Amino acid sequence: MNQNLRFIDSISSIKKSEFDKLAQNLGSPFLNYDFLSALELSKCVTSDNGWRPMHLTSNEDKKLNGFMPLYVKENSQGEFVFDHSWSYALNRAGRSYYPKLLSAIPFTPCETKKIIGDGANESFINEVIHFMNEKNIETWHILFPDSSLEKDLIKNNFIKRSGYKFIWKNKNYLNFEDYLNIFKSRQRKNIKNERKKISQLNITFEIKESRNLNKNDWDDFYIFYKNTYQQRFQAPYLNKEFFRIIHEKRYSVNPVIFFAIIDNKRIAGSLCFRGKDILYGRHWGSIYNIDSLHFECCYYQGIEYCIKNKLSSFDPGVQGEHKLRRGFEPQLTSSYHFIKEKDFYGAISDFCKKERQEIKSYLAACQRYTPFKKEYKI
């Protein structure tokens, strides 16, 4: 074991000032002390709901110089990389899939660094594998890391798993009308008709950012957010206390809410977070089921915001082929999986290899059927 490395059961065990200095160039609203702290303080992330924090840190001269988000998981909820079939397979073999280790931002399928700190990759990986051997934990999963970690993970026998999402890219558009010019006439007309449906209902939009958000805004948004889960007969992952803390720390995590309004009444809202050069769409909800409102609130408003603020891209969340027709381009995502035992490693490796081929074929099909003019093809 490396004496400079330490597992901690809460982000509050380290100083915010030291974490902020370590992460200052990331520009991520998620690999962010205040965001991770809000999840823990609000008890959205606890042992009781299957997320026990066990972050790994490194220190030099008693100061933080490395960090990795790490959780001991008792389920696979809130991850957006689905491994339930893996769990069933190991359980059928008479072994326990849970607890497992997870390096991810809870409930957030957005690419971020998963180890921060110069030269920390190898020592962190070795320390976690040592812990797995000590505690007889079978698997460790690293979700949505950036590419800087891939080489070290592959070297240490992690299995790469591919996924996909759809990303909007700003090609220096002047305005939304300029953006529509990249589409074939039929799809350009479809998008205009979707937006027209909303304007004909006299639905308008209000954008609230860190500088003008207030507590009532979060109360309204939570009603919409909660309703999304209630319609599926589910409990929301995030509670009202989480959003209260996010409001307090809003200048650190940069939330943006798009509210839909009719007759001076808010009826829907979409919550995004602004990164260094990207907008992340995260949560949405509505109290009415109105045709095309989701597209307007979650996609078109965000696109207009990115054009106006000269952001290079908009990540509206995972999956969703309907995004393709609205100008979002398919993009591979990655996760990496350390499987300790050889028999299970072989089965998962074969599974991921076949899945990668399927996803490769699917993305090739997406590129053939994009709604863009020939000169704008992906």
Given 263, 280, 311, which residue is the final one in a domain?
Answer: 311
| Mean of pLDDT values over 126-151 | 96
| Mean of pLDDT values over 237-264 | 98
For position 278, which CATH number holds? 3.40.630.30
Which percentage of the chain shows pLDDT scores above 70? 98
369 — pLDDT class (breaks 50, 70, 90) = confident
Residue 320: the pLDDT is: 81
User: Do 298 and 181 fall into the same domain?
Assistant: yes
Angstrom CA distances, 312 to 276, 278, 335, stand at 10, 6, 24
Residue 371: the pLDDT is: 86
Is residue 321 assigned to a domain? no
Burial class (CB in 10 A: 0-12, 13-18, 19+), 357: exposed
Range of the domain at 10: 5-163+333-367
User: Do 131 and 188 fall into the same domain?
Assistant: no
User: Do 256 and 143 fall into the same domain?
Assistant: no
Of the candidates 43, 18, 30, the one whose C-alpha atom is nearest the C-alpha of residue 69 is 30
Residue 119: the pLDDT is: 85
9 — pLDDT class (breaks 50, 70, 90) = very high
Is residue 43 assigned to a domain? yes
| Mean of pLDDT values over 154-179 | 96
When computed from its CA atoms, the radius of gyration of the chain, rounded to whole angstroms, is: 22
Is residue 372 assigned to a domain? no
Is residue 86 assigned to a domain? yes
Domain count along the chain: 2
Is residue 154 assigned to a domain? yes
- What distance in Å separates the CA atoms of residue 193 and residue 187, rounded to the nearest whole number? 10
Is residue 259 assigned to a domain? yes
Helix (H, G, I), strand (E, B) or coil at 92: helix
User: Do 156 and 26 fall into the same domain?
Assistant: yes
Helix (H, G, I), strand (E, B) or coil at 106: coil
> For 11-68, what is each residue's pLDDT tens digit?
999 999 999 999 999 999 999 999 999 999 999 999 999 999 999 999 998 899 999 9
Is residue 39 assigned to a domain? yes
User: Do 135 and 44 fall into the same domain?
Assistant: yes
> For 344-365, what is each residue's pLDDT tens digit?
999 999 999 999 999 999 999 9
User: Do 190 and 114 fall into the same domain?
Assistant: no
Is residue 377 assigned to a domain? no
User: Do 110 and 226 fall into the same domain?
Assistant: no
User: Do 304 and 349 fall into the same domain?
Assistant: no
Q: Give, as one character, the DSSP assignment of residue 342.
A: H
User: Do 125 and 182 fall into the same domain?
Assistant: no
User: Do 30 and 63 fall into the same domain?
Assistant: yes
For the chain, how are helix, strand and coil distributed in percent, rounded to 5? 40, 25, 35
Element (DSSP H or E) covering residue 247:
helix 240-248
Q: What is the mean pLDDT of the chain?
A: 95
Residue 367: the pLDDT is: 83
User: Do 119 and 234 fall into the same domain?
Assistant: no
User: Do 57 and 184 fall into the same domain?
Assistant: no
Q: Is the pLDDT of residue 376 over 70?
A: no
CA pseudo-torsion sign 336, 340, 344, 347: positive
Check whether the bond before 99 is cis (ω within 30° of 0). yes
1 — pLDDT class (breaks 50, 70, 90) = low
